[in-house]
Chain A
Amino acid sequence: MPATLRIPTSLRGLTDGSAVVEVEPGKLTELLDDLVSRYPALGERLLGDDGKPRRFVNIFVAEDDIRFLDGVDTPVADGQVVTILPAVAGG
């Protein structure tokens, strides 16, 4: 059973409009590599030069922020949902 990555509206222009992308479970870094290989333009939006998520993007595995788990090494199990959430400012 694949894991699911939720893509925020602000980045769906880079995923051909897809709101969710299904990937093989594994370490989060592997899931992100898989995602970026399919949608290369997402790479610079999500990840810094060090390969870590940029500081204005929060990534949650299930309901928890990976900064308080194992960062990009956080394991993502079968069926789990990864939420990518950039800061937005509109009001």
Chain B
Amino acid sequence: MVKSYRDMVAEAKLEIKEIDPDDLERRLGKLVVLDVREADEFEQGAIPGAIFVPRGQLESTISTHVPDPAREVVLYCAGGSRSALAARTLQDMGYTDVFSLDGGFTRWKEEGLQWRVPEGLSSDQRGRYSRHLLLPEVGEAGQIELLEAKVLMVGAGGLGSPAAMYLAAAGVGTIGLVDFDVVDASNLQRQILHNLDRLGQPKVESARETLNALNPDTKVETHNVRLTADNVFDILSHYDVIVDGGDNFPTRYLVNDASLHLRKPVVHGSIFRFEGQVSVFDPYHGPCYRCQYPEPPPPELAPSCAEAGVLGVLPGIIGSIQAVETIKLILGIGESLVGRLLTYDALTQEFLTLRTRRDPACPACADESMPPRIVEYDQTCAYPGAVARSN
């Protein structure tokens, strides 16, 4: 015998419990409310606090949204039919206290109860970020935090390429890029933001094209300049997190000094031939770059990638780890690399995690009221002395 939709709904309603809108309103906040409609319906208005779980994803995601099967759950749709079928499904899955909202969202509104247009993600964004939304550690609130975050990449080269691409893909809302170089054929062995068509273009412009094509949600801000003592505050102050993928010591010490003034975390990555290092410098909460390396090596002992070579994949690994650390800082999840230095050796395929500490004698960060003077460093990067905090 063929059953109609109406038969199916009628059968389901015999097996499930229904709740009236005014009963539900009194108990909002005490039970879990799931909106099982489609995204375009949810976006036009929903019950406050409702979690959007379209019926097609109900079985696969319910344990994420409601881990405890004894928890009281109310499902609603537009008229109370789809939610009745969904409630029966949850009962079949072992959920013991499930209700369907009688008359659905239509009756809810007719009775003059409060509803709101949900803030946040569009249906395109729900699709794009669906694999993030499934993670309890990210979810819709976390995705919105990513969309509101502003991250500066120092360098749009080897490290900046994977870091910027993954951050844009993840939906970081604003990515700043500071680099004064132009794309050269020798960059393409590792700098995957760029391509053959962009030879001779400013790297920040090439990067903008790549990132825009990847994710229109990400606003790309370009700074086609060398980072200097004169512009470092102006540029860094707009951002929440600094990703240091520079290629020279003077810039790294300059970024460190400015981050101490601005109290902004720096996600550090550096590479040489087959080895990379990653750490997070959180001003005054952990070591700074100068705690870790009081001085840079003399230039003759520290050849650049241009002089010494670098395995093309290496910045892919290190820059990707920088992207992970940046996302963790934005979301406030996990354990960051503050106070730890992660090293990677591609030849031995080994990662090491070393403990680092804030140096109580560090000239740059020991005294919070006296951050370093901001100066143009030469190759020695000698500590320039302190200056009274301005902010």
Contact of B272 among A56, A67, A88 (CB under 8 A): A88
Residues of chain A contacted by B272 (CB below 8 angstroms): 8-10, 88-90
A:24-73 near B, CB below 8 Å? 45, 54-58, 60, 63-65, 67-68
Verify if A85 is at the interface (C-beta below 8 Å from B). yes
Interface-central residue, A45, A56, A68, by most chain B CB under 10 Å = A56
Verify if B302 is at the interface (C-beta below 8 Å from A). yes
A85 touches B277 (CB 8 A): yes
Q: Which DSSP category, helix, strand, loop or mixed, fits chain A's interface?
A: mixed
Residues of chain B contacted by A83 (CB below 8 angstroms): 343, 352, 354
Verify if A86 is at the interface (C-beta below 8 Å from B). yes
Min Cβ gap A40→B in Å is 16
How many inter-chain contacts with C-beta < 8 Å in the A-B complex?
A: 103
Verify if A87 is at the interface (C-beta below 8 Å from B). yes
Contact of A10 among B159, B273, B292, B348 (CB under 8 A): B273
A89 touches B355 (CB 8 A): no
Residues of chain B contacted by A56 (CB below 8 angstroms): 293-297, 301-302
- Tell me the complex Cα distance, A55–B343, Å: 19
Residues of chain B contacted by A58 (CB below 8 angstroms): 292-293, 354
A85 touches B343 (CB 8 A): yes
A89 touches B248 (CB 8 A): yes
Verify if B160 is at the interface (C-beta below 8 Å from A). yes
Residues of chain B contacted by A55 (CB below 8 angstroms): 293-295
B:153-174 near A, CB below 8 Å? 155, 157-160
Residues of chain A contacted by B296 (CB below 8 angstroms): 56, 87, 89
Verify if A19 is at the interface (C-beta below 8 Å from B). yes
B348 touches A63 (CB 8 A): no
B354 touches A88 (CB 8 A): no
Min Cβ gap A71→B in Å is 13
Interface string of B206-227 (1 = CB under 8 A from A): 0000000000000000000000
A9 touches B273 (CB 8 A): yes
A68 touches B357 (CB 8 A): yes
B357 touches A65 (CB 8 A): yes
Interface string of B226-255 (1 = CB under 8 A from A): 000000000000000000111111001000
Q: In chain B, what residue has the closest Cβ to A89?
A: B249
Residues of chain A contacted by B248 (CB below 8 angstroms): 89
Min Cβ gap A18→B in Å is 12
Verify if B61 is at the interface (C-beta below 8 Å from A). no
B359 touches A10 (CB 8 A): no
B354 touches A89 (CB 8 A): no
Which A residues form the contact surface with B (CB < 8 A)? 8-10, 19, 45, 54-58, 60, 63-65, 67-68, 83, 85-91
* Contacts A88-B275, A89-B296 supplied; 19 other A-B pairs, CB < 8 Å: A9-B275, A9-B345, A9-B347, A10-B308, A54-B297, A55-B293, A55-B294, A56-B294, A58-B293, A63-B353, A63-B355, A64-B355, A83-B352, A88-B271, A89-B252, A89-B272, A90-B304, A90-B305, A90-B310
Instruction: Name 26 A/B residue pairs within 8 A (Cβ), A-sorted.
Output: A8-B272, A9-B273, A10-B272, A10-B302, A19-B347, A54-B297, A56-B295, A56-B301, A60-B355, A63-B352, A63-B353, A83-B343, A83-B352, A83-B354, A85-B277, A87-B292, A87-B293, A89-B249, A89-B270, A89-B272, A90-B272, A91-B155, A91-B159, A91-B160, A91-B271, A91-B305
